[in-house]
Structure 1
């Protein structure tokens, strides 16, 4: 018995078997995208499809309509081709920004992670220090002019202690992955705008 199949002109994915119409006086006509096989194709393996390539039916992995990831950056791409991924792509998502592609999986780059955590800690520390400087300056000027009240002097000392603690965060045991941020003096905590 003969089995007829057709393939998609773009992807070469096989469909079938199909029944082709019999035309009286002419017989069965094969369209340009059809072929015949003496045996029926078995079902494709899970995650694969049958394709017609170089005059033969073969199975290719089907990763279409999926996100894949660049091994050099972890950037996701939408994939829409049949067959194995090129060497620069993987189907494994990058677990985090400090991971790099190893032999067959993502590997944590501990040095890059530490460097990133130090950077983030410095940014947060500097933001907190800027907030303090705005509050310290008027108190410092009042002190230097001899016009500071006792509560202003107490506040100035508390803010200076807070500033010193901020400047010493890198001395903490868990730095930079775990930071016990000093608490600003209660009178000078800025509440978020509502």
Structure 2
């Protein structure tokens, strides 16, 4: 009995505090609906005429309300399990009813999930206080590798391979997708490539010439006992080491030309030679993009 009386006392005190709070005050509550006289602080647009006391405090400081007919509530985040509410003022006798709406990401329109919005307690009829970046229209069901996006007032389904493991069909290296990019946009597939794989438009095939070249390289003493994966990694390491050495020599050759070019004293022949060295360095930096890399490499020729 004592415990019940204490609990009842706390509940009564809570009701009194909710009722005595000043308009515009922010507080956190548990449950599905705000208490009577409170609204969710979720950025929703309100009619100025029906919330005059709250407008006198907030003005048009939040959101896109025009300040003539509408104004916006602040959008306040809340700890898990609670909702941030704002005291609306007035003497509302009942808690506002809530309905489910569908939220979307502001910049991409990607569907974020269901949230609750209030039905205005100060207006006749079921006037929904819709938060920004949300709609009452449910999104279509997204299939595999799809996402629902709200665009120009309606939902549409777009490709979504962001969580998928993808490989470029041109280079067989891993690539990542952005929301809305299809496999065709990326030139990619979700089929993992084999070693020395080349894409034939439908599936991966083994490049036998590249494999044979790798096998020939594997006959060298340092590669003889390596499996396919280790052999490929060893070839890549060797290619990178050779490319670094060539780049060091190239940078040494470029340095005098860059000095005179920076001073504005270079002849046209020197400028042309400098440009040729830069193209050579760029080609060395892109060796891994060659189809046969690392088994077969078309090494660029340094300028004469």
1:45-68 CA-to-partner distances (Å, cap 9, x unmatched) read 344332212332122233222321
Confirm whether residue 124 of structure 1 aligns to residue 221 of structure 2.
yes
Contact 1:67/1:79 (8 A) holds in 2 = no
Confirm whether residue 44 of structure 1 aligns to residue 147 of structure 2.
no
Cα distance in 2 for residues equivalent to 1:6 and 1:125 = 59
Cα distance in 1 for residues equivalent to 2:189 and 2:145 = 16
Q: Which moved more, 1:28-37 or 1:110-119?
A: 28-37
Cα distance in 1 for residues equivalent to 2:104 and 2:171 = 36
Cα distance in 2 for residues equivalent to 1:126 and 1:115 = 13
1:9 to 93, 106, 116: 106
Cα distance in 1 for residues equivalent to 2:188 and 2:222 = 38
2:135 to 35, 42, 50: 35
Cα distance in 1 for residues equivalent to 2:186 and 2:160 = 16
1:113 to 211, 215, 218: 211
Residue 217 of structure 2 aligns to a residue whose secondary structure is helix
Structure 1 residues 125 and 64 mapped into 2: Cα distance closer, same or farther (>3 Å)?
closer
Structure 1 residues 107 and 115 mapped into 2: Cα distance closer, same or farther (>3 Å)?
same
Cα distance in 1 for residues equivalent to 2:212 and 2:189 = 26
Contact 1:7/1:34 (8 A) holds in 2 = yes
1:137-170 CA-to-partner distances (Å, cap 9, x unmatched) read xxxxxxxxxxxxxxxxxxxxxxxxxxxxxxxxxx
Residue 4 of structure 1 aligns to a residue whose secondary structure is strand
Q: Which residue of 2 aligns with 1:56?
A: 154
Contact 1:66/1:80 (8 A) holds in 2 = no
Cα distance in 2 for residues equivalent to 1:113 and 1:126 = 14
Give the unaligned 5+ runs of structure 1. Answer: 128-194
Structure 1 residues 65 and 10 mapped into 2: Cα distance closer, same or farther (>3 Å)?
farther
Contact 1:64/1:82 (8 A) holds in 2 = no
Give the unaligned 5+ runs of structure 2. Answer: 1-98, 225-304
Residue 117 of structure 2 aligns to a residue whose secondary structure is coil
Cα distance in 2 for residues equivalent to 1:35 and 1:58 = 14
Q: Which residue of 2 aligns with 1:19?
A: 116
Cα distance in 2 for residues equivalent to 1:69 and 1:4 = 38
Structure 1 residues 87 and 15 mapped into 2: Cα distance closer, same or farther (>3 Å)?
closer
Structure 1 residues 91 and 46 mapped into 2: Cα distance closer, same or farther (>3 Å)?
closer
Aligned length: 122
